[in-house]
């Protein structure tokens, strides 16, 4: 028995050398392309290592650290621009890896997803998304630097039991600078549609404005206040009603026109009133009451443009009552945090490493969810 002890000791020291280095973290890159200030942008996460990884292909785990550009002129008292971190609210952001977003990335494979930065930098935070701003994108689950051994959930973790790498809590992109982009397309007419506006520039006419942003917990709380103003230089005789408003909605569920069906009413003279120049009237509308049922069914970002159609054709022409159409120049960005439908309708878009460059080029953009 004494003779075997040296042999056993030598065997143990050979199988587990005391000087072996611990495995390093998994190798992944995060890239953001099409980074004009107006979006949309695209996320690309690539497995650049040798180990297959289980990856959380979920843009809801994204955060954007935005540093505004320095001011054009500086003084001794000028302060460096403050960094703004944009993330989704807790109702939208998962606290673990969603099973339907977990994918397996082989070495060289990548995941792509198109997203709108306005969903993350919402409200006042959206003001930092300007030309010259510096952005760092991060994807995953932030962890405290005080924690020596991170625990699940992980944005990426090795698949094999005896892997040569460790899991990642979060991956980050290299800093990039936003370029000036084309202004977002506008469906609003560039000129007033009032018949008299072309003949008399001082003629009374209406404009419509709505708030720049609206953050709603669900579809039932999407209540938009439209302000109608006489922007002409003369008073008008007009009969304004809530049901003259209409709304064009663009969002995750598609394009919708919300509002009553077109109809011409005979309105008594007593219902008309005088609206002086620059006078306003406001109407609050719960959009689920005037929109198709599924308009706001899914959580996400919606663009809502309001308009008003004043068509009291039944009025006596001798009254000189106002008739015309006006559409808001700017839409309201509406963020819905929760809905009956899912955030995603399609599976994650993964490009395997075997795909040729020609195939990749033909797939110019990952399908937007």
**Residue 165 structural domain:** 24-72+80-182
Give a yes or no: residue 32 inside a domain.
yes
Residue 169 sits in the same domain as residue 58: yes
Tens of pLDDT, residue by residue over 153-174, are 999 999 999 889 999 999 999 9
Q: Which of 7-11, 39-43, 248-252, 286-290 has the lowest mean pLDDT?
A: 7-11
Residue 201 sits in the same domain as residue 321: yes
Counted domains in the chain: 2
Residue 236 sits in the same domain as residue 268: yes
Residue at which a domain ends, from 116, 151, 182: 182
Residue 161 sits in the same domain as residue 199: no
Q: What is the DSSP string of 229-266?
A: EE-SSS-EEE---GGGEEEEEEETTEEEEESPPP----
Q: From residue 11, give the alpha-carbon distance in Å to each of 14, 31, 138.
A: 5, 47, 46
Beta partners for residue 231, in sequence order: none
Residue 173 sits in the same domain as residue 223: no
Residue 65 sits in the same domain as residue 163: yes
Per-residue model confidence (pLDDT) at position 179 = 86
Per-residue model confidence (pLDDT) at position 22 = 74
CATH number at residue 55: 2.60.40
Residue 49 sits in the same domain as residue 133: yes
Tens of pLDDT, residue by residue over 240-294, are 999 999 999 999 989 999 987 665 566 777 788 999 999 999 999 999 999 998 9
Residue 168 sits in the same domain as residue 199: no
Q: Which of 8-22, 131-145, 241-255, 293-307 has the lowest mean pLDDT?
A: 8-22
Residue 208 sits in the same domain as residue 278: yes
Q: How confident is the model at residue 190 (pLDDT cuts 50, 70, 90)?
A: very low
Q: How confident is the model at residue 355 (pLDDT cuts 50, 70, 90)?
A: low
Tens of pLDDT, residue by residue over 297-353, are 999 999 999 999 987 655 566 677 888 899 999 999 999 999 999 999 999 999 998
Identify whether the C-beta of residue 247 lies closer than 8 Å to the C-beta of residue 224.
Answer: yes
Residue 105 sits in the same domain as residue 173: yes
Of residues 195 and 269, the one with the higher pLDDT is 269
CA distance 103 to 203: 61
Average pLDDT of span 220-239: 95
Burial class (CB in 10 A: 0-12, 13-18, 19+), 96: exposed
Q: Where are the alpha helices (DSSP H) in the chain?
A: 5-15, 357-362
CA distance 174 to 29: 9
Residue reference for tokens 């980050």? 172
Close Cβ partners of 167 (under 8 Å, ≥ 6 residues apart) = 25, 26, 150, 152, 154, 156, 157, 158
Residue 199 sits in the same domain as residue 172: no
Residue 46 sits in the same domain as residue 146: yes
Residue at which a domain ends, from 182, 207, 229: 182
């Amino acid at each position: 028995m004494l003779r075997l002890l040296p042999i056993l000791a030598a065997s143990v020291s050979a199988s587990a050398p005391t000087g072996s280095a611990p495995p390093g973290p998994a190798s992944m890159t995060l890239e953001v392309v099409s980074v004009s200030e107006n979006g949309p942008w695209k996320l690309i996460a690539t497995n650049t290592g040798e180990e297959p990884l289980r990856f959380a292909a979920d843009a809801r785990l994204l955060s954007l650290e935005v540093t505004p550009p320095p001011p054009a002129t500086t003084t001794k008292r000028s302060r460096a621009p403050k960094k703004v971190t944009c993330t989704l609210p807790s109702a939208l952001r998962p606290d673990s890896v969603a099973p339907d977003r977990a994918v397996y990335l082989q070495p060289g494979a990548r995941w792509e997803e198109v997203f709108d930065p306005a969903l993350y930098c919402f409200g006042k935070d959206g003001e930092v998304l300007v030309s010259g701003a510096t952005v760092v994108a991060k994807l995953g689950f932030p962890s405290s630097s005080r924690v020596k051994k991170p625990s699940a959930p992980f944005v990426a973790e090795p698949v094999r039991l005896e892997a040569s790498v460790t899991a990642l809590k979060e991956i980050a992109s290299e800093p990039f600078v936003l370029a000036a982009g084309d202004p977002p397309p506008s469906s609003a007419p560039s000129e007033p549609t009032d018949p008299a506006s072309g003949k008399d520039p001082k003629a009374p006419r209406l404009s419509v404005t709505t708030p720049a942003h609206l953050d709603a917990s669900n579809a039932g709380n999407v209540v938009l206040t439209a302000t109608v103003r006489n922007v002409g230089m003369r008073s008008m005789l007009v009969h304004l009603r809530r049901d003259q408003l209409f709304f064009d909605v663009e969002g995750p569920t598609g394009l919708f026109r919300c509002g009553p069906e077109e109809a011409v009413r005979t309105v008594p003279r007593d219902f008309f009133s005088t609206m002086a120049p620059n006078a306003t009237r406001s109407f609050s509308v719960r959009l689920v009451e005037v929109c198709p049922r599924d308009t706001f069914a899914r959580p996400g970002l919606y663009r809502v443009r309001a308009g008003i159609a004043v068509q009291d054709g039944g009025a006596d022409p001798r009254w000189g009552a106002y008739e015309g159409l006006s559409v808001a120049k700017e839409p309201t960005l509406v963020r819905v945090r929760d809905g009956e439908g899912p955030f995603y309708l399609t599976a994650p878009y993964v490009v395997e490493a075997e795909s040729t460059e020609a195939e990749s080029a033909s797939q110019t953009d990952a399908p937007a969810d």
